[in-house]
Amino acid sequence: MGNTFEMSIVGELSFFLVLQVKQFDDGIFISQSKYANELVKKFGLKDSKHMQTFISTSSKLDRDSDPNKVDPSLYRSLIGSLLYLATSRPYISFSIGVCGRYQANPIEQHVLAVKCIIRYVSSTLNYGLHYSSISNSKIVGYTDVDWVGNKDDRKNTLGDCFYVGTNIVS
């Protein structure tokens, strides 16, 4: 590659875009701690109560349960910021996707659900993904469906994840 591209060796990779990379003998750890901290500050939730879960299991979001409309551009900003964070936290993708359904006409209930995710993020700033170099090549997949859980259109919501050895890849 050195013959085709101009290259320089500047040391071990520690940052790539907004991803923090820590290299160990047994693999690498990828996180977005700095970005997560900035996200929490940006939306004014640094001093708010931390959440133990990132989405409520007792209430479901729907279109018309609240007449209080909110600014769609703010809501889209919240969703977009969280989508970028899902790069190193794939387990919050489902929750972001559920909230993302309401970007065209968000209400206060939707904003509260997104802020719940951000409050969870504020309590887990140092979470990330560890990709082990000591792993087998067995491919395993898991999937789940909520069987008509969407109140608005009665569609199923499906989620899945796939691993190569102990490393999540999707």
The residue assigned the tokens 């809501």 is: 75
Mean of pLDDT values over 12-36: 86
**How far apart are alpha carbons 40 and 32 in whole angstroms?**
12
Q: Which of 98, 95, 120 is nearest to 45 (CA)?
A: 120
Q: Is the pLDDT of residue 152 over 80?
A: no
157 or 112: whose pLDDT is higher? 112
| 147 torsion bin: left (phi>0), alpha (psi -120 to 50), beta (else) | left
Query: Residue range 79-94: average pLDDT?
Result: 86
CA nearest neighbour of 129 among 89, 93, 82: 89
How high is the pLDDT of residue 65? Answer: 64
Flag whether pLDDT at 133 surpasses 70.
Answer: yes
Q: Which range has the worst mean pLDDT, 5-9, 25-29, 87-91, 155-159?
A: 155-159
Instruction: Tell me the three state secondary structure of residue 69.
Output: strand
Most confident residue range from 13-22, 120-129, 133-142 = 120-129
Q: Strand, helix or coil at 118?
A: helix
pLDDT over threshold 80, residue 120: yes
Residue type at 159?
G
Neighbours of 87 (CB within 10 A): 17
What confidence score (pLDDT) does residue 160 get?
Answer: 76
How many whole angstroms from its chain centre is CA 111?
16
91-101 pLDDT, tens digit per residue, is 888 888 888 88
**Domain extents in the chain:** 15-168
pLDDT at 51 over 80: no
Q: Which pLDDT score is estimated for 26? A: 87
For residue 79, which of 122, 44, 110, 37 has the smallest C-alpha distance? 110
Q: Which residue has the higher pLDDT, 52 or 123?
A: 123
Tokens 């520690």 correspond to 14
Q: Answer whether residue 146 shows pLDDT above 80.
A: no
